[in-house]
Copies of this chain bind each other. A is one copy, B any other.
């Protein structure tokens, strides 16, 4: 029964659509599965073997700790996304871990080596995965460009728009976003200080462009942002 569940967890991910149920099951048998609650930390280095993770529901942030013990957000992973050793190399970042942002997340994982084997057997999967990694790089590069050429305000607007597009609940021009990020998180994502992010957000509220509280962000008119 448990295997069955895991099977389904993979099954409806677009990347695994091309696999026969036999192959998916093969991946499932060796895959781990877990749920975690808000604030919990998932260490990549828990298993000494490199893994690929698939976030089934919820959101997490990938955080790295630098020499001075300062947390930096590396990535926000959302429902349906994969994370872990995406570059398929096995050197695990010791000072990197994932932190759960939403109330609950469910994650399944499989060993990098098993995933590789499966890709070798199924070129379509390999191609799909390559495109997925490529897309991720494109997005990263985009962020990079924004960081260089746009100021903090523009970066915040861009971020809010993207967030709305990805996770917002639309009602005509109005969008509601479930706000599971602190202002500090947002600040880190757009690469600015917490204070600047706070000031900017409050500025938007004053201008009536957004409504903001700890639970949700409402954008009355996405076009106006």
- The listed residue (B120, B130, B143) touching A88 by CB distance below 8 A is B130
A17 at the interface (CB under 8 A from B): no
Q: In the docked arrangement, what's the CA distance between A44 and B74, Å?
A: 31
Q: In the docked arrangement, what's the CA distance between A87 and B136, Å?
A: 8
Q: Please indicate the chain B residues that have their CB under 8 angstroms from the CB of A120 in the complex.
A: 123-124, 127
| Segment from A53-61, A101-109, A145-153, A216-224 that makes contact with B | A145-153
Given contacts A134-B89, A135-B89, A149-B72, contact A116 B127 (CB under 8 A): yes
In contact, A86 and B137 (Cβ under 8 angstroms)? yes
A169 at the interface (CB under 8 A from B): no
Q: Which residue of chain B is the closest to A75 with respect to CB atoms?
A: B141
Q: Please indicate the chain B residues that have their CB under 8 angstroms from the CB of A137 in the complex.
A: 86-87, 133, 136-137, 140
Q: Which residue of chain B is the closest to A91 with respect to CB atoms?
A: B138
Q: In the docked arrangement, what's the CA distance between A189 and B151, Å?
A: 19
How many interface residues does chain A have, given as a range? Answer: 35 or more
Q: Please indicate the chain B residues that have their CB under 8 angstroms from the CB of A145 in the complex.
A: 64, 72, 74
Given contacts A148-B147, A149-B66, contact A127 B127 (CB under 8 A): no
Q: Please indicate the chain B residues that have their CB under 8 angstroms from the CB of A136 in the complex.
A: 137
Q: Which of A88, A122, A143 has the most CB of B within 10 A?
A: A88
Distance between A189 CB and nearest chain B CB, rounded to angstroms: 11
Distance between A88 CB and nearest chain B CB, rounded to angstroms: 5
Distance between A133 CB and nearest chain B CB, rounded to angstroms: 5
A interface residue numbers (CB < 8 A to B):
64, 66, 72, 74, 86-89, 116, 119-124, 126-127, 129-131, 133-138, 140-141, 143-145, 147-149, 191
Top 7 nearest A-B pairs by Cβ distance?
A: A87-B134, A126-B126, A123-B123, A120-B123, A137-B137, A130-B130, A88-B131
